[in-house]
Amino acid sequence: MEKNVIFFFLICCIILYVTSAQLRVGFYKSSCSRAESIIRQVVQKRFDKDQSIPAALLRMHFHDCFVRGCDASILIDSTNSKSSEKDAGPNLTVRGYEIIDEAKKALEAVCPTTVSCADIIALATRDAVTLTGGPTYNVPTGRRDGLISDVDDVDLPSPSLSVMDALHFFTAKGLNLNDMVTLLGAHTIGVAHCGFFQDWISNFGGTGKPDPKMDTTLAARLLRICGTKSRPLNKDPTVFLDQNTSFVVDNQFYNQIILKKGILQIDQQLGLDRSSAPIVSRFASNGNAFNQNFANALIKMGKIKVLLGNEGEIRKNCRVFN
């Protein structure tokens, strides 16, 4: 009888843990009721001065989730003895860390050691997307911060990959083709350094010429901006990924792909590959469909390998482990 009681108690505890240790909308309603409004105010303040910040936050969120999961490991600073994700090649152009710092400082003053850095990234990204005219959506919260950040863990899809090769990275994270085409729609805002597409516009396939599939007028303009020689990152010119509505989250990115005006090779491939082209066409003709899918894809991405319950920690400073 006593064993049965103990067994029943253990089962109840497991069920209670599984039930409580889940992402949910309004996670901080009782523990830090002002959490989301504080983050929103910080993002709004920065956006008022710099309308390019939504693209930075989207990129940060993606680069964080696609390594160890959405655990804010990208925020950790390197030390003399250990290089963190932040110092990996693909992350050297990630920016916006100070926005997360500012939000964290404000939250610690009101609700110490309560709101995770991982949740701050997800919420700040949501708010930034909305400010650029994109969809408004609810973000399930309750993520915990990771305890590992290793430069060697960073393996992100290259902008020169084919659609199928890029898709392998997404399916490994539980995302599908529609999710990938949708998430790459984040290129509706932001810029790319010439180094990310230099070969495509100046020496495609070793021909010494641009890819013939690219719009010739665009290729000529990019060559004038970028030249044919690579430069150090701090001297490498940038161009808008969306040549039309560069600061607005909308479906114009997909219309440009159809016109063969994608800046990155992977972007243009989306419109040419028969598996992804129908999705591109649907989003190009239906902005509401893109908005809805974009919100859903960001929510789905934000759930990749999250830490919950007693896993990880709640950092006091997003740049260092407790």
| pLDDT confidence tier of residue 17, bands split at 50, 70 and 90 | very low
Q: DSSP letter for 236, please.
A: -
Crossing angle of helices 35-49 and 117-131, in 10° steps, is 50
Residue 16 has a pLDDT of 39
pTM of the prediction?
0.91
Residues annotated within a binding site for Ca(2+): 64, 67, 69, 71, 73, 85, 188, 242, 245, 250
Q: In this model, does residue 20 exceed pLDDT 80? A: no
Query: What is the overall mean pLDDT for the chain?
Result: 92
The CA radius of gyration of the chain, in Å to the nearest whole number, is 21
Residue 21 has a pLDDT of 67
How far apart CA 136 and CA 146 sit, in angstroms, is 27
Q: In this model, does residue 243 exceed pLDDT 90? A: no
Residues annotated within a binding site for heme b: 187
Calculate mean pLDDT across residues 195-200.
87
Residue with tokens 């161009």: 239
Catalytic residues: 63
Q: In this model, does residue 207 exceed pLDDT 90? A: no
Q: Are 280 and 257 within 8 A, CB to CB?
A: yes
* Cα-based distances in Å from 176 to 79, 150, 196, 276: 36, 27, 24, 11
* Cα-based distances in Å from 106 to 65, 73, 103, 109, 307: 24, 20, 5, 5, 23
Q: Are 117 and 75 within 8 A, CB to CB?
A: yes
How far apart CA 24 and CA 30 sit, in angstroms, is 13
Q: What is the pLDDT of residues 126-159, one digit of tens each?
A: 999 999 999 999 999 999 999 999 999 999 999 9
Q: What is the 3-state secondary structure (H, E, C) of 62-107?
A: HHHHCCCCCCCHHHCCCCCCCCCHHHCHHHCCCCCHHHHHHHHHHH
Query: Domains of the chain, with CATH numbers?
Result: 27-153 (1.10.520.10), 163-301 (1.10.420.10)
Residues annotated within a binding site: 64, 67, 69, 71, 73, 85, 157, 187-188, 242, 245, 250
